[in-house]
Chains A and B, each alone.
Chain A
Amino acid sequence: MSAGDMRHAGINLGTTDQETHDQAEPDIFGFWIFLMSDAVIFALLFAVYGTMLGATVGGPTAASAYKIGPTFAETVILLTSSFTFGLGSIAMKHGASNRVLLGWFAATLALGLAFLGLELHDFATMIGDGAVPTRSGFLSSFFALVPLHGVHVLAGCLWLIVMMVQVPIFGRDARVKINLLRLGLFWHFLDIVWIAIFSVVYLQGLIR
């Protein structure tokens, strides 16, 4: 791999589309910075969650409020969606047909929506059990951190739909490609955040 290929992180287009590759450099770098800034927001919400673990005020605790089964299923679904998106990125890099590309994105979208559906069902169960954010500081911090990730996934799904419309309309021009690279970073970033949520929030909840 030459130095030129390594000029920006993400799926490199260098060998297949040098022009877009060069144009992508500031765009992808800028998106990395955005993700780092977004990561600070999540980091702070994790910190707030950590300080509020004990603030249950006699209400539901982590052990009583969380259901590990559904959240494990959500984890598997979201990780699989990252895998399908990755296959889509590779298909784009090697010039696969629109049908293959859109197929991978449709699979990703379906998995993303399934994740959101399961998560909403989780929240509804918690609320039904009286674990509402207004009950305690602990539940407030849960309902700020985890749904914020959900909102991100929702934004990702919306973005994916827009891109699935744009691929047939514009073909694979530089902007479509660069936006797909960015969306890929975003999608994988949400995976990493979810892994942190699953470990710090749900698994830690089991221990207690």
Chain B
Amino acid sequence: MTDGIWPALLGRFTWNALAFVRAWQNPTVNEIIGAGAAMMVVLGAASVITLITVTGKWGYLWREWLTSLDHKKIGVMYVVLAFVMLARALAEAVLMRMQQAAAVNAPGFVEPDHFAQLFSTHGSIMIFFMAMPFLTGIINYVTPLQIGARDVAFPLLNSISLWLTGGAAGLMMVSLVIGRFSTGGWTGYPPYTELAFSPDVGPDYWISAVTLGSIASTLSGLNFAVTIYKLRCPGMTLMRMPLFCWTTLCTSILMIFAMPPLTVATALLALDRYLGFHFFTNDLGGNMMNYANLFWLFGHPEVYILILPAFGAYSEVVSTFSSKELYGYTSLVLATMAIAVLSFTVWVHHFFAMGQSANLNAVFGIATMTIGVPTGVKIYDWIWTMFRGEVRFTVPMLYSLAFMMTFVLGGFTGILLAFPPLDYLVHNTLFLVAHFHNMLIPGLLYGMLAATHYWFPKAFGFRLNEKWGRIAFGCWVFGFYLAFMPLYVLGAGGAARRSQAFFEPAFRPWLYVAGVGALILLAALTALFVQLWVSIRERDANRVFAGDPWDGRGLEWSTSAPPPEYNYAVIPVVDGRDPFYDGKRDGDGYAVPAGYEDIAVPRNSMVGPATGILGAGLAFGLVWYIWWLAVLCLAGIVATVIARSFIRDVERIVPAADVARIEDRWHHAIAAARPISRHHETTPANQGLAEVTA
């Protein structure tokens, strides 16, 4: 296939690019692991397709989900995507831990090049295709409900963001089967990722997937910011918004300003690789430091894009499950804003060791430590919220408590790393790996899991199983400590990160412990899936259709569970920070309006799926030098956008009679439900109606 029509048709694809062919030709353990992973992707996709076809659900899926512009459904799809990607990236983490445990003065079973692909995909997926979709999904579901809106400001753009993210995630999966992934880590530092040192398709997969994800996140941020600024219901002033909305707003602003640097960094790297430019090359005036600055100008605010929504979720959870209003609301808002602003002033601490002057490092070191102050304010506010409250140790509350302990610990090691002289000692060691996992697992994963447990009954109408929730929680926390505390020791002892093998026998016991921890984390994920399965099976016993299982405070609890597609039959008017909580106490929590009006909701659109698939096709064409495919897909995207602009019939009317029927059914259910006290909220007695005690 070196001449003739094939290169024009298939670019630089050869049969050797397929993981299966490689394993067939060279059946080592290493290649068989690669082929096994590829097989899981292929079988997974095939079984999903078969299942949908056999059950005849394609039409349902297309109409009700894939083309839907309903922010609630888009939110759910984001979270599903996050869990799929979490499963893959966690499996990779376990594989890496097993390899390191087996590779002290021994080769282990994963070869260095394969190992480098593992840590590159693990990091890229966890950040861009697990964490980002997870928080975007939760924000999508919750924010419009909390501010009393019927949807986000730009529902179609929302669907396009989802599908671009999905297309990019699909590209990550395809890279397991066809070709190989980058070995340059999740940061993709040139010059190593330049053509001179990595001529294969790996960095191109990384560039394409990350760029698509980055554009999607910019658009999401824009959408959420406009939603919050312009679509709040009457009376919902900024300082009356639930704290989760504040964190959404700050995260959105960070997305708007911090994703473009990433887009620029990856685009310039692409220019180097595709057109022979010299931005980051070693020769002809290229300057790698520009990449480091651009990447971390994104990378540091990204940390707060990830963590702030979790802070918001904890604020809601702690307040609700303590039956107390949030302590220090104003200080929490100010702290959130302060963190968002400061996050743009610390990026150099990611490369203290790369040669700037000591004075510059000192400035950025001090700025870094400053962020500890607003974060500390938040921790105290949550503690004071619990003080003398009616605290219930439900699963989301357990995650919140584990977060407070664990995150503070990670914060301390962050303060250590903020000292440039100390950073020189542990730079690029497992100490750093331990630190950022210590921030992101409690600061993102626990937060999103707390949010999932907290809002799941709202989204699906039934509560999640408590027992399996607690088992999963125990595994996440116990597994985290076992997996990452040893890495602090190893890093302080000089173990370099991203190492495929070690030569120091003293590392062995610590690596064993970390390996066990990784297995427990895998058990935690399994427990979550078991929980979902058990909860779905027991759903009829745990329904909370009335909509308020936790005696909630914000507007989102004042609808049925799940809410109707239009969210609110009548746009609410609020006059305080906890409108629904106070409304219930004043006796008008469930006021029946005098009448209903027609409601316009956005019509389904296939523009989202089309953009996502064409975007992924464009990226795939670029990765493999299949130019006709790339050009065709790019033209397709332009044509889709133009065609859409000619469609005028973009709204569907839900007639007032239908609204009345839906609302009456809900009001009847409320009248029939038995109010329960807080002691019974995790029992089947909970029908979603809270007993109101003054």
Contacts and interface: CB of A to CB of B under 8 A. Distances in A.
Contact of B648 (A34, A143, A175): A175
Contacts of A45: 264
A37 B268 CA distance: 17
Interface string B247-273: 000000000110111011001100110
A26 interface: yes
A60 to B, nearest CB: 12
Contact of B271 (A55, A140, A169): A140
Given A33-B256, A55-B287, A57-B285, A41 B264 contact: yes
A29 B230 contact: yes
Contact of A56 (B272, B285, B297): B285
Contacts of B303: none
Contacts of A40: 257, 260-261
A137 B297 CA distance: 21
B478 to A, nearest CB: 42
- Indicate the member of B256, B268, B284 with the most A CB atoms within 10 Å: B284
A144 interface: yes
A91 interface: no
Contacts of B272: 140
Interface in A11-33: 25-26, 29-30, 33
B261 A37 contact: no
B146 to A, nearest CB: 18
Interface stretch (A62-70, A106-114, A128-136, A188-196): A128-136
B508 interface: no
Nearest to B279: A140
Interface string A134-172: 111110110110000000000000100010001001100
A29 B285 contact: no
Contact of B278 (A33, A34, A51, A136): A136
B371 interface: no
Contact of B226 (A30, A55, A138, A144): A30
A43 B165 CA distance: 26
A44 B267 CA distance: 12
Given A25-B230, A51-B290, A144-B277, A137 B260 contact: no
A179 interface: yes
Given A33-B225, A40-B260, A134 B276 contact: yes
A118 interface: no
B257 A37 contact: yes
B513 to A, nearest CB: 43
Interface residues of A, number: 37
Nearest to B157: A30
Contacts of A33: 222, 225-226, 256
Contacts of A136: 278, 284-285
A137 B648 contact: no
B646 interface: yes
A48 interface: yes
Nearest to B263: A41
B294 A44 contact: yes
B275 interface: yes
The residue among B259, B260, B294, B638 with the most chain A CB atoms within 10 A of its own CB is B260
A38 B256 CA distance: 9
A7 B264 CA distance: 33
Contact of B279 (A26, A36, A48): A48
Interface in B270-314: 271-272, 275-279, 284-287, 290, 294, 297
A140 B256 CA distance: 26
B100 to A, nearest CB: 37
B671 interface: no
Most chain B CB within 10 A, of A30, A52, A140, is at A140
A133 B256 contact: no
A135 B638 CA distance: 32
Q: Which of B259, B278, B638 has the most chain A CB atoms closer than 10 A to its own CB?
A: B278
B86 interface: no
Contacts of B284: 55, 57, 134-137
A73 B223 CA distance: 39
B648 A37 contact: no
Interface in B12-37: none
Contacts of A55: 278, 284-287
Contacts of B231: 26
A192 B268 CA distance: 23
B645 interface: yes
B628 interface: no
Interface string B210-236: 000000001000110110011100000
A6 to B, nearest CB: 15
Contacts of A140: 271-272, 277-279, 285-286
A99 B271 CA distance: 44
A149 B267 CA distance: 15
Nearest to A7: B230
A118 B260 CA distance: 29
Contact of A162 (B263, B267, B286, B642): B642
Nearest to B297: A44
B154 interface: yes
A41 B275 CA distance: 20
B614 interface: no
B222 A37 contact: yes
B648 A141 contact: no
B459 interface: no
A48 B638 CA distance: 29
Interface in A71-117: none
B540 to A, nearest CB: 41
B278 A137 contact: yes
Given A40-B260, A44-B260, A134-B275, A52 B645 contact: no
Contacts of A169: 646
B445 interface: no
A166 B646 contact: yes
A143 B642 CA distance: 28
B153 interface: yes
A133 B278 CA distance: 8
A39 B638 CA distance: 22
A166 to B, nearest CB: 7
A144 B222 contact: no
B276 A133 contact: yes
Nearest to A45: B264
A11 B257 CA distance: 26
Given A26-B230, A138-B285, A162-B645, A133 B277 contact: yes
Residue of B256, B263, B271, B285 ringed by the most chain A CB atoms within 10 A? B285
B285 A41 contact: no
Contacts of A56: 285
B273 to A, nearest CB: 12
A48 B297 CA distance: 13
A34 to B, nearest CB: 6
Top-5 shortest CB links A-B? A137-B285, A55-B285, A140-B277, A26-B230, A134-B276
30 contacts: A26-B153, A26-B230, A29-B229, A30-B154, A30-B222, A33-B256, A37-B256, A37-B257, A37-B260, A41-B264, A44-B261, A44-B294, A44-B297, A48-B264, A52-B285, A55-B284, A55-B285, A133-B271, A133-B275, A134-B284, A135-B284, A136-B278, A137-B285, A140-B278, A144-B267, A144-B268, A144-B279, A162-B645, A166-B646, A173-B648
Given A40-B260, A144-B277, A162-B645, 8 more contacts: A30-B154, A37-B218, A56-B285, A133-B278, A134-B284, A140-B285, A140-B286, A175-B645
